């Protein structure tokens, strides 16, 4: 949702900015950077250099719609749209809350690394469908007449002991039969199937998209084979999926080691049957200077009938701290096979392009919203909560023009609350309650070169025992904020990923400005009392990829003693090295 900004940040990396002026600058030109639309008819990969993994794309009319997963974040399954496959903006989410199980609620917060995984977006007979598999709870579907919602409550289609991840659907109009394919892992694997890896099973589905009609048929088995997408192009069935190619013997949980590569494969039916038999070809692999594996995405067709492929970069390097970004590749058809990218080394397999002519010309530079002045009565779609929020404890209307966060007590330190044993966090400071505190709100970082975000807080209504401020978190957290001591003193503090606290000066001002900047994966915090003069506080720290998420920027608020105190956020601005669209009323 587009908001009327009180303050628009000039995008200048050579100097920092004053936070006193809040006048809109509607004449500001769109911003370019080291990735995305370059403003000259070309784009540089990634097109979305942020944590937008596991995408699927559906074109309706002249618009492309994309979904992307984000585990336990709420609302879940973000929806973006684009006219040219390069410039994407956020238009909503499928699930306003992760309502199918209580562990995603604010009073449990036990869904880290679970929840919304890779899904499938489809449009059929005037209805939108979204399918997802929650690893612990099964296959769900929701539908809507409008892509912006409202979406129906999630409907369970298969239990968790039958499916692993990554559903994809197809309606065969000619034969009036709907299908779903998904990774069923080894749940149903028979002794007769001696192939290594995951089974991918094709099911018949009811025409209304709500029910699975049979036990499925195995289409393909392979190491880490998943993320299938079904296409029928020129009366030929194609199934695209990612698969691991392991150069060294697999060690426990190390299939994604740098020496291994997750490649994009294509299965092509040798008959006019969706059941095959299929022949296989590797059509895309990393290369051309890109170290991270390239696979898992969606085919798209432009109005000139050219084909394109959007895909993520896999997390198989040490520092993918921005998460899994999206790259756009041209597709060349060679002997009936879609070769993705460019075959630079002439081995019949495509490698990613770094810069290319845009698929569709004439559309302006745009990007997902980041800045916010909280002047709307609904929350901007860039924001997502860490688990379902405690809705009674935040407001945009109690103080119009501000986001108010009310303090709750953190959940008790028990294995049933917080990350538990699901390997979400690398932080060792589990006694510090960040992972167990409700109503943490955040958005993705953009890019992996340079960035600076700043927010203005009113701390005048904080209560004894309350902690609130700015947080960066992904695989680890780092926080800078205010703690109110037993005498009512407001004290600046910083806590690192190990839960180690650095105490700062007492803050007597009611206004507090916090800024965080990063160069690559190295970041730090600063604070100011007037929005002009900033002082660094706390050490430089390293941003890290989580299981599986990139670094995020946001706000936290809790009280160690009782449910008392509020913090108000006036505005948030974010300057980064990448495309940023012109504000539109």
Each residue of 423-461: pLDDT tens digit? 555 655 467 899 999 999 999 999 999 999 999 999 999
Same domain (yes/no): 199, 76: yes
Whether 547 is in a domain gets the answer: yes
Distance CA 563, CA 554 (A): 21
330-336 average pLDDT score = 98
Q: How many residues does the chain have?
A: 585
Asked whether residue 464 is assigned to any structural domain, the reply reads yes
The answer to whether position 446 is within a domain reads yes
| pLDDT range class, residue 251, cuts 50, 70, 90 | low
- 342: pLDDT strictly greater than 80: yes
pLDDT in tens, 126-159: 999 999 999 999 999 999 999 999 999 999 999 9
Given CA atoms 435, 436, 437, 441 in this order, what sign does their dihedral have?
positive
List the CATH number of the domain containing 289.
Answer: 2.115.10.20
Q: Which band of pLDDT confidence, cut at 50, 70 and 90, is reported for residue 548?
A: confident
Q: What is the 3-state secondary structure (H, E, C) of 264-300?
A: EEEEEECCCCCCCCEEEEEEECCECCECCCEEEEEEE
* 428 vs 388: which has the higher pLDDT: 388
d(CA 134, CA 95): 13
The yes-or-no verdict on residue 24 having pLDDT over 50 is no
Mean pLDDT of 202-224: 97
Residues 78 and 154 in one domain: yes
Nearest to residue 138, comparing CAs of 155, 152, 125? 155
Mark residue 254 as left, alpha or beta (left: phi above 0; alpha: psi -120 to 50; beta: remaining).
alpha
The answer, yes or no, to whether residue 3 has pLDDT greater than 70, is no
Instruction: Supply the pLDDT for residue 579.
Output: 96
Task: Please indicate, yes or no, whether the overall pTM of this predicted structure exceeds 0.85.
Answer: yes
pLDDT band at 573 (very low <50, low <70, confident <90, very high): very high
> pLDDT tens digits, residue range 453-493?
999 999 999 999 999 999 999 989 999 999 999 999 999 99
- Model confidence at 19: pLDDT above 90: no
Mean pLDDT of 311-331: 92
What per-residue confidence (pLDDT) applies to 531?
97
Lowest mean pLDDT among 132-141, 311-320, 324-333, 495-504: 311-320
Q: Where are the alpha helices (DSSP H) in 466-570?
A: none
Contact 206, 219 (CB under 8 A): no
> How does residue 413 score in pLDDT terms, banded at 50, 70 and 90?
confident
Q: Is residue 46 part of a domain?
A: no
Residue 363 domain-assigned (yes or no): no
Query: Residue 168's closest CA among 123, 232, 95, 230?
Result: 230
CA 515 to chain centre: 23
Please report the pLDDT score of residue 10 as a whole number.
35
Domain stop point among 356, 374, 403: 356
**Dihedral sign computed on CA atoms, order 532, 536, 540, 543:** negative
Q: Tell me: do 335 and 471 sit in the same domain.
A: no
Give the pair of three-digit tokens for residue 536.
């660094």
Rounded mean pLDDT, 236-262: 82
Same domain, 247 and 342: yes
Q: Looking at the structure, tell me whether residues 343 and 416 fall in a common domain.
A: no
> What is residue 316's predicted lDDT score, i.e. its pLDDT?
80
Q: What local confidence, expressed as pLDDT, does residue 23 receive? A: 32
Higher pLDDT, 61 or 414: 61
Q: How many domains does the chain have?
A: 2
Residue 35 maps to a domain: no
| 158 assigned to some structural domain | yes
For residues 116 and 234, state if they share a domain. Answer: yes
**Domain that includes residue 280, residue range:** 52-356
Decide: 537 and 514 in contact? Cβ < 8 Å.
Answer: no
In a domain, 370, yes or no: no
Mark whether 340 and 434 lie in a shared domain: no
Is residue 71 within 8 Å of residue 51, measured between CB atoms?
A: no
Work out the number of other CB atoms within 10 angstroms of the CB of residue 521: 17
Number of neighbours of residue 175 by Cβ within 10 angstroms: 10
**Which has the closest alpha carbon to 442: 493, 496, 405, 393?**
405
Single residue among 315, 339, 356 that ends a domain in this structure: 356
Question: Quick one: what percent of the chain has pLDDT higher than 70?
Answer: 91
CB 241 within 8 A of CB 225: yes
Whether residue 346 is found in the same domain as residue 394: no
Same domain flag for 564 and 445: yes
pLDDT at 250: 60
- Strand order of the β-sheet with 278-284 is 226-233, 236-245, 261-269, 278-284
568 and 484, same domain (yes or no): yes
CATH number for the domain harbouring residue 456: 2.60.120.200
Average pLDDT, the chain: 92
Residues 236 and 152 in one domain: yes
Q: Same structural domain for residues 435 and 324? A: no
């Amino acid at each position: 949702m587009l908001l009327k900004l009180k303050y628009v940040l000039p995008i200048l990396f050579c100097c920092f900015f004053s936070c006193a002026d809040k006048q809109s600058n509607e004449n500001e030109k769109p911003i370019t950077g080291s990735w995305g639309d370059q403003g000259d008819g070309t784009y540089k990969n990634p097109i979305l250099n942020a944590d937008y993994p596991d995408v699927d794309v559906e074109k309706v009319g002249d618009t492309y719609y994309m979904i992307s997963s984000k585990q336990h974040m709420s609302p879940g399954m973000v929806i973006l749209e684009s006219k040219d496959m390069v410039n994407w903006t956020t238009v909503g989410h499928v699930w306003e809350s992760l309502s199918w199980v209580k562990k995603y609620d604010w009073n449990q917060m036990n869904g880290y690394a679970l929840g919304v995984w890779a899904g499938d977006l489809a449009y059929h007979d005037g209805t939108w469908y979204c399918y997802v598999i929650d690893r612990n709870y099964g296959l769900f579907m929701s539908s809507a007449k409008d892509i912006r919602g409202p979406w129906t409550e999630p409907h369970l289609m298969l239990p968790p002991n039958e499916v692993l991840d990554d559903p994809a659907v197809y309606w065969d109009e000619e034969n009036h039969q709907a299908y779903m394919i998904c990774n069923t892992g080894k749940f149903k694997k028979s002794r007769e199937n001696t192939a290594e890896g995951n089974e991918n099973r094709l099911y018949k589905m009811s025409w209304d998209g709500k029910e699975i009609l049979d036990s499925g048929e195995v289409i393909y088995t392979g190491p880490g084979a998943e993320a299938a997408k079904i296409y029928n192009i020129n009366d030929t069935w194609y199934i695209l999926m990612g698969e691991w190619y392991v150069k060294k013997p697999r060690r426990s949980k190390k299939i994604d080691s740098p020496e291994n590569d997750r490649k994009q494969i294509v299965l092509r039916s040798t008959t006019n049957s969706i059941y095959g038999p299929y022949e296989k070809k590797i059509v895309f692999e990393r290369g051309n200077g890109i170290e991270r594996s390239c696979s898992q995405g969606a085919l798209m067709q432009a109005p000139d009938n050219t084909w394109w492929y959007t895909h993520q970069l896999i997390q198989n390097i040490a520092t993918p701290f921005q998460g899994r970004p999206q790259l756009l590749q041209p597709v060349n058809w060679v002997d009936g096979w879609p070769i993705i990218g460019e075959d630079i080394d002439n081995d019949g397999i495509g490698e990613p392009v770094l810069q290319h002519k845009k698929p569709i010309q004439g559309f302006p530079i745009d990007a997902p919203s980041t800045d916010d002045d909280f002047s709307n009565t609904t929350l901007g779609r860039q924001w997502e909560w860490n688990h379902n929020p405690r809705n009674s404890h935040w407001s945009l209307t109690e103080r119009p023009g501000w986001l108010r966060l009310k303090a709750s007590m953190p959940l008790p330190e028990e294995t049933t609350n917080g990350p538990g044993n699901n390997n979400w966090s690398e932080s060792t400071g589990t006694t510090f309650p960040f992972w167990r505190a409700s109503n943490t709100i955040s958005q993705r970082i953009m890019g992996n070169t340079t960035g600076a975000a700043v927010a203005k807080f009113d701390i005048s209504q904080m209560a004894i025992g309350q902690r609130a401020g700015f947080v960066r978190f992904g695989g680890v957290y780092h926080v800078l904020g205010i703690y109110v001591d037993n005498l009512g003193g407001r004290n600046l503090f910083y806590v690192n990923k190990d839960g180690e606290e650095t105490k700062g000066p007492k803050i007597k001002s009611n206004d507090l400005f916090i800024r965080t900047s990063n160069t690559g994966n190295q970041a730090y915090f600063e604070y100011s009392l007037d929005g002009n003069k900033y002082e660094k506080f706390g050490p430089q720290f390293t941003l890290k990829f989580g299981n599986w998420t990139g670094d995020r920027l946001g706000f936290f608020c809790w009280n160690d003693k009782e449910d008392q105190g509020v913090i108000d956020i006036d505005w948030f601005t974010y300057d980064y090295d990448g495309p940023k669209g012109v504000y539109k009323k």
